[in-house]
Structure 1
Amino acid sequence: MQRSFSVGTLVRLVATPPNLVDADELRTATLFSLCLGKTFPIREITDGMAALDVGEILGEPSYMHTIYVEPEFLEFVTG
Structure 2
Amino acid sequence: MTKTNAERNTETLIEFADAHRSQMRQIGEKIDALTSQVGVLSENLTRLEIQVERIANISERQAATAESQAESVRQLIALLNRKAN
Same fold? TM cut 0.5: no
TM (norm. structure 2) is 0.18
Larger Rg computed on CA atoms: 2
TM (norm. structure 1) is 0.19
Greater relative contact order structure (CA < 8 Å, 6+ sep): 1
Of Structure 1 and Structure 2, the greater strand share is in 1
